[in-house]
């Protein structure tokens, strides 16, 4: 065999797996056909957050007047922002490549496909490996409607030559609500078209309601309970038909309608690797596919599609296979953030999930953050704890508001450790912060779940 381990895909999960395996002494190769660092570094988390921050500066410039500053805000230069972002992403690409090279991993800038369970075609070259890890991630998907190709996808947003003045964003998942905030903050008229009554299906109801209010307060025009029907060209612009024949003329239609695992034309069938109807590689709890020497990690398995989770899986798999340390990443209590405006941080169960298991005490706090008492910006913060009534363990912590992702990371440690409401209560707050609210929520807002009817 040419390699002990061959990793297909140089994204966050694949790179971590390759590096750690090499560190444990395995002979490792990794192939990437597009860009090192994958979605997160190139067309996802990292550039997205830079765009979010670009929007925040505009809002801060407006807010400063309430604190006595006179700031004249000029127009935003999209081209300058994208050029600065591109430079930073180039730097990160280089770091990812160097990390692999320094770890002694052999790098292939090529597409890899499976010929059989131990043989790959890597850019026209035959390579054999004892073990193979599929870490190819996913790609954005447009809905199957007429004219869908006239709409952009998230990959395109990072390279738009000009910022659209009007944009219709279809969907209300992570990507849709994050970009609604970005484009609105940078000066566009933003329409959000989604088929649920509230954005972010699957998130806690209070967060969803709070986000809908926040988007409206920010000026995003919401079109709930509407599905897209077709897109047509209108000169350089687009006409979106949606929600039973309504039309909207905009510069750009952006489909943020989900992602699909990258498993097409990879020769998976040659190696006996099976996929689900949605194209996800099927794995067992040890990340093993239907073929015993082939594993899959990260978004390509379509379970928890978050970069840090793919990294945790890649690391655990390398430790298991080559580090004499069998372990796995837990699917429970994985914290997540949505970089909406303001952002969301969340860990553990939603009220609805927890209540389905048994009675829960729910604590909710809503307030205007201190900064906005002077800035005058209509922006609220919402924090919520979901507590198991029997054990008093905190099952879920949710926040919508400035710095929510930063704050929930710390709260997540407590939740993972099994902290109780009493543990939160005996922790002294840091004053004046928004975070202290998490340890000063004394009065239960409501009881939810099975016992609710009995009370």
Active site positions, annotated: 431
Report the nearest approach of ligand NDP to the CB of residue 300 (Å): 13
Return the residue of 336, 349, 362, 400 that touches ligand NDP, per CB under 6 A: 336
259 near ligand NDP, judged by CB under 6 A: yes
112 near ligand NDP, judged by CB under 6 A: no
337 near ligand NDP, judged by CB under 6 A: yes
Return the residue of 196, 293, 328, 333 that touches ligand NDP, per CB under 6 A: 196
Give strand pairing partners of 260: 139
Report the nearest approach of ligand NDP to the CB of residue 307 (Å): 7
Return the residue of 47, 181, 228, 348 that touches ligand NDP, per CB under 6 A: 228
Return the residue of 27, 195, 288, 377 that touches ligand NDP, per CB under 6 A: 195
Closest CA to 96 of 87, 86, 107: 107
Instruction: Return the half-sphere exposure (C-beta side, CA atoms, 13 A cut-off) of residue 149.
Output: 0
Q: Which is nearer to ligand NDP, 294 or 382 (CB)?
A: 382
43 near ligand NDP, judged by CB under 6 A: no
DSSP, res 288:
B
Q: Which is nearer to ligand NDP, 10 or 140 (CB)?
A: 140
Residues 33/124, Cβ–Cβ less than 8 Å: no
CB crowding 226-255: b at 16 or more within 10 Å, else e: bebbebeeeeebbbbbbbeeeebebbbbbb
Q: How many residues bind ligand NDP (CB under 6 A)?
A: 25
201 near ligand NDP, judged by CB under 6 A: yes
Please, what's the largest Cα pairwise distance for the chain?
A: 69
Question: How many residues in total does the chain contain?
Answer: 455
DSSP states along 62-130: HHGGGGT---------HHHHHHHHHHHHHHHHHHHHHHHHHTTPEEE-S-EEEEETTEEEETTEEEEEE
Report the nearest approach of ligand NDP to the CB of residue 205 (Å): 14
Report the nearest approach of ligand NDP to the CB of residue 342 (Å): 13
For residue 228, give both structure tokens.
Answer: 């897209």
Return the residue of 22, 42, 119, 172 that touches ligand NDP, per CB under 6 A: 172
400 near ligand NDP, judged by CB under 6 A: no
Distance (Å, whole) CA 184 – CA 219: 7
227 near ligand NDP, judged by CB under 6 A: yes
Residues at the interface with ligand NDP (CB under 6 A): 143, 170-176, 178, 194-196, 201, 227-228, 256-259, 305-306, 336-339
């Amino acid at each position: 065999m040419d390699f002990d381990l061959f990793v297909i895909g140089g994204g966050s999960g694949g790179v971590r797996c390759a590096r750690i395996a090499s560190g444990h002494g395995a002979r490792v190769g990794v192939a990437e056909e597009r860009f090192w660092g994958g979605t997160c570094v190139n067309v996802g988390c990292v550039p997205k957050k830079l765009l979010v921050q670009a929007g925040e500066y505009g809002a801060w410039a407006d807010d400063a007047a309430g604190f006595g500053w006179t700031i004249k805000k000029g127009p935003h230069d999209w081209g300058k922002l994208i050029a600065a972002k591109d430079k930073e992403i180039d730097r990160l690409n280089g770091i990812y490549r160097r990390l692999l090279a320094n770890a002694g991993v052999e790098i292939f800038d090529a597409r890899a496909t499976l010929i059989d369970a131990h043989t790959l075609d890597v850019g026209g070259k035959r390579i054999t490996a004892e073990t193979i890890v599929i870490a190819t991630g996913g790609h954005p998907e447009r809905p199957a409607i007429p004219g869908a190709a006239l709409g952009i996808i998230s990959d395109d947003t990072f390279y738009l030559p000009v910022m659209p003045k009007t944009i219709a964003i279809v969907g209300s998942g992570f990507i849709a609500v994050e970009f609604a905030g970005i484009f609105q903050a940078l000066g566009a008229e933003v329409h959000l078209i989604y088929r649920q009554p509230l954005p972010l299906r699957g998130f806690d109801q209070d967060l969803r309601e709070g986000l809908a209010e926040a988007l409206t307060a920010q000026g995003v025009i919401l079109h709930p309970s509407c599905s897209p029907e077709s897109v047509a060209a209108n000169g350089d612009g687009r006409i979106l038909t949606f929600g039973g024949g309504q039309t909207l003329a905009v510069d750009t239609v952006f489909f943020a309608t989900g992602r699909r695992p990258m498993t097409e034309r990879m020769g998976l069938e040659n190696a006996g690797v099976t996929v689900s109807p949605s194209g996800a590689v099927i794995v067992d709890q040890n990340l093993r596919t239907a073929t015993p020497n082939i594993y899959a990690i990260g978004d390509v398995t379509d379970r928890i599609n978050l970069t840090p989770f793919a990294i945790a899986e890649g690391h655990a798999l390398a430790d298991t296979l080559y580090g004499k340390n069998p372990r796995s990443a837990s699917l429970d209590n994985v914290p997540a953030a949505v970089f909406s405006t303001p952002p969301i941080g969340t860990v553990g169960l939603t009220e609805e999930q927890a209540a389905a298991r048994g009675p829960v005490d729910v604590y909710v706090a809503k307030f205007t953050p201190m900064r906005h008492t002077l800035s005058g910006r209509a922006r609220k913060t919402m924090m919520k704890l979901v507590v198991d009534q029997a054990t008093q363990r905190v099952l879920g912590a949710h926040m919508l508001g400035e710095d929510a992702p930063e704050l929930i990371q710390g709260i997540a440690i407590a939740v993972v450790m099994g902290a109780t409401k009493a543990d939160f209560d005996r922790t002294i707050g840091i004053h004046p912060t928004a975070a202290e609210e998490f340890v000063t929520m004394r009065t239960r807002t409501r009881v939810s779940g099975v016992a609710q009817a009995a009370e």
